[in-house]
Structure formats: C-alpha cells, structure tokens
C-alpha cells in the first residue's frame, strides 16, 4: 500500500500548487468567507469514506450523492472555486493529472494561510472516488447537536483523538453558521450561553422554527481571521453551536484544559493545527491505481 507524498506533483506538474494558491487567494479577495467554506469542504469530504472528493459528485442515476445530505444541503459552498482550479490545472499541467481530492486538500490549506493561519505541508497523491453515498454523509458527519461524548465517538471512529477534535474544531475561527443550527442552543439551553451573546443572537435568530432559518451568525468574533478567538469565546461561554460549547464546560471536565491551553498559546495552536489537518487529510485516501483522476470534479469519468 502506497503513501501520500508532499512532493507528488513536483515532477509531473510543478505549477500545480502555485496555481491552486493563486486561485484560492483570488476567491478569498472576492469574498473572505470562501476561505472558511473551502476548509469545511475538505472536512466534509474526509469524514465520508475518506478524502476522495466524494463530496463533489452530483447525484446520478446510479447513486445519490452527498451534496443534499442533511449537513450539506443549502450549506456547503466552494464547488465553483474547485471547478475553476480543476480547469486551470488541466491547462497548466497539459492534461488530467491533479485529482479533485488533492485540489480540495490544498485549497483548504491555502485558505487557512490566506486568512492568517499556519502553513503546513499537504500530503498528496489522493485519487477520486467513483461513487458517493448520501446515507454515508448523513451517518459520518458529526451533528452540531452532539454532546462531548458524541463528538469524541465520531472523531475516534475516524481514527482521530480528543486533541484532534479540539484542534480541528478550531477551524470554527472562520466562517458562519445558520440560525437553524444554533436555535435550540439559543432558546433551550440559554443558561450555557453568555448574556450579551444570547441577546444579540436572538435578533439574528428568532425562536419560531422557519423564521430566519438561513440567517447567519459568526462562529467567533473574527470570522475572516484565523486566530484563537474561537477558543476565547468558548472560555466566555459564547460558543455558537451546542457542539462548540461542549468542548468547554468550565468544570474542568472533558477537553476544558485543551481549550484553555490553545486559547492562551497561539503558537502551539498554529503548530498542532497543521499536524491535525495532515492527520485528517490522510483518512483512507485512494492511492496508486485505486479510484481515478476525475476529469470533471462533479462527475465520475
Ligand atoms: C466537531 C464537529 C463539528 C461540527 C458539529 C460542525 C458543525 C458545523 C456547522 C453546523 C456549521 C454551520 C453550517 C451551516 O449553518 O450552514 C459549521 C461551519 C463550519 N465548519 Fe464545522 N463542524 C465541526 C467540525 C469542523 C471541522 C473539523 C472543520 C474543518 C477542519 C470545520 C470547519 C467549518 C467551517 C470553516 C465552517 C464555516 C463555513 C462557512 O462559513 O462557509 N468544522 N460547522
Ligand atoms: Ca469523501
Ligand atoms: Ca477568528
């Protein structure tokens, strides 16, 4: 069984990584949130049958894809940016050499860097799935309603640790969530939510189901900057999602200590986040002659 390799494209298409980086930077200049969306895309790919670009496949006659699974529908973004990169690379590399799964992994890293976060070497050589499963997406992506133990089980089932959970949740330093994903926390567990945060969120997210469901709130105080404000917010009981605040309960249990540590130690967060991303990026990739290199990231060849 082969392995991923940071230098996989060095000989076959040396321009691949700089081209991805420049298209990602352009997209983020147009809209900072796109960086958050591209980072999340990699997570939602890797947690469903590994980092194999299954998340990019449209529904077909033979399978229902992941795009309309509950965690993804009306929520996942960035598909057009991936398409743009794919076509640019076809031209630059003179053919179909860079897999969609690798594009997603590199775009996630370049997004983190473009928004002020740490760089890390992306391991490459993933190939693309020939199928996708909506049921798998519904079963494998953790829900924001999960308690600490449920979050841990999800990560452990993917071969990841509690530390990975805390680090990778640090991605919520970027981007937004829809009212429908935090309404229950806002109205049914108000005692776990800091007062001023509750007050301002109630303007964005009315209590009535269906009312303002798609209204957006920031996951931390600086949604276009990769920093440790997400962890600071957890310490202040301002976590937006139920699952966020589950990482810090304030009684010393669970991952309280890790959250405190990363909130106070951005250097450690920078280093450890990259390591955790490399670990997530290595979840059961297709390598060697498995899978294919898709021509169009939305369709199997
Ligand atoms: C630990 C379990 C996790 C849960 C329960 C969770 C849940 C969510 C939810 C519900 C949203 C808002 C979606 C919407 O309202 O449309 C969201 C957004 C986001 N998530 Fe997570 N997430 C988790 C872990 C992660 C990980 C591991 C990453 C990446 C490494 C990540 C990256 C993001 C980003 C960047 C956004 C903002 C996206 C945007 O603004 O377009 N999340 N997450
Ligand atoms: Ca996948
Ligand atoms: Ca931030």
Ligand number with the minimum distance to the CA of 33: 1
- Is the CB of residue 215 below 6 angstroms from any atom belonging to ligand 1? no
The DSSP letter of residue 292 is: B
Specify whether the CB–CB gap between 297 and 100 falls below 8 A: yes
Which residue's CA is minimally distant from atom 5 of ligand 1? 144
Q: Give the integer Cα–Cα distance in Å for 23 and 80.
A: 11
Nearest to 112 by CA among 263, 281, 254: 281
Judged by phi (left if over 0) then psi (alpha if -120 to 50, else beta), residue 94 lies in: left
Judged by phi (left if over 0) then psi (alpha if -120 to 50, else beta), residue 178 lies in: beta
Q: Is 222 annotated as a binding residue?
A: yes
Domain map of the chain by residue range?
16-142, 148-275
Which atom of ligand 1 has the smallest separation from the CA of 174? 35
Convert the pLDDT of each residue in 93-126 to its tens digit.
999 999 999 999 999 999 999 999 999 999 999 9
**Whole-complex ipTM:** 0.99
What Cα–Cα distance (Å) separates residue 122 from each residue in 9, 103, 275?
Answer: 11, 10, 10
Q: Give the integer Cα–Cα distance in Å for 205 and 254.
A: 29
Nearest to 177 by CA among 143, 225, 149, 209: 143
Q: Give the integer Cα–Cα distance in Å for 36 and 258.
A: 23
Query: Phi and psi at residue 105, in whole multiples of 5°?
Result: -65, -45
Ligand 1 centroid to 131 CA: how many Å?
A: 24
- Is the CB of residue 79 below 6 angstroms from any atom belonging to ligand 1? no
HSE-CB for 233 with a 13 A CA cutoff: 27
Q: Is 285 annotated as a binding residue?
A: no
Identical fold at 16-142 and 148-275?
Answer: no
List the alpha helices (DSSP H) in 170-228.
183-188, 195-204
Q: What CATH number does the domain located at 16-142 have? A: 1.10.520.10
Which residue's CA is minimally distant from atom 32 of ligand 1? 40
- Is the CB of residue 144 below 6 angstroms from any atom belonging to ligand 1? yes
- Is the CB of residue 173 below 6 angstroms from any atom belonging to ligand 1? no
pTM for the structure as a whole: 0.98
The CATH superfamily assigned to 148-275 is Peroxidase, domain 2 (1.10.420.10)
Convert the pLDDT of each residue in 200-210 to its tens digit.
999 999 999 99
Q: Is the pLDDT of residue 2 over 80?
A: no
Convert the pLDDT of each residue in 20-72 to its tens digit.
999 999 999 999 999 999 999 999 999 999 999 999 999 999 999 999 999 99
Q: Is 48 annotated as a binding residue?
A: yes
Which residue's CA is minimally distant from atom 35 of ligand 1? 36
């Amino acid at each position: 069984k082969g392995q991923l390799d940071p230098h996989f494209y060095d000989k076959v298409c040396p321009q691949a990584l700089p081209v991805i980086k420049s298209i990602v930077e352009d997209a983020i200049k147009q809209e900072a949130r796109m960086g958050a969306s591209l980072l999340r895309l990699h997570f939602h790919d890797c947690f469903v049958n590994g980092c194999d670009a299954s998340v990019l496949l449209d529904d077909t006659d033979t399978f229902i894809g992941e795009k309309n699974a509950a965690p993804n529908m009306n929520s996942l973004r960035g598909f057009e940016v991936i398409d743009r990169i794919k076509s640019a690379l076809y031209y630059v590399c003179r053919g179909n050499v860079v897999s969609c799964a690798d594009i997603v992994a590199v775009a996630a890293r370049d997004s983190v860097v473009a928004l002020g976060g740490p760089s890390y070497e992306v391991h490459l050589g993933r190939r693309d799935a020939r199928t996708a499963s909506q049921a798998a997406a519904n079963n494998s992506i953790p829900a924001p309603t999960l308690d600490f133990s449920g979050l841990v089980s999800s990560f452990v089932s993917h071969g990841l640790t509690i530390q990975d959970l805390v680090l990778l949740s640090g991605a919520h330093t970027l981007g937004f969530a829809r009212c429908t994903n935090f309404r229950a926390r806002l109205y049914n567990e108000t005692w776990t939510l800091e007062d001023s945060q509750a007050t301002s969120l109630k303007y964005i997210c009315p209590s009535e189901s269906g009312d303002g469901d798609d209204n957006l709130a920031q996951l931390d105080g600086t949604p276009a900057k990769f920093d440790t404000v997400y962890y600071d917010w957890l310490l202040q009981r301002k976590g937006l999602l139920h699952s966020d605040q589950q990482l810090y309960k304030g009684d010393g249990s669970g991952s309280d200590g890790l959250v405190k540590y990363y909130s106070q130690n951005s250097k450690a967060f920078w280093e450890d986040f990259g390591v955790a991303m490399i670990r997530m990026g290595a979840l059961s990739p297709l390598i060697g002659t498995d899978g294919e290199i898709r021509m169009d990231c939305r369709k199997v060849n």
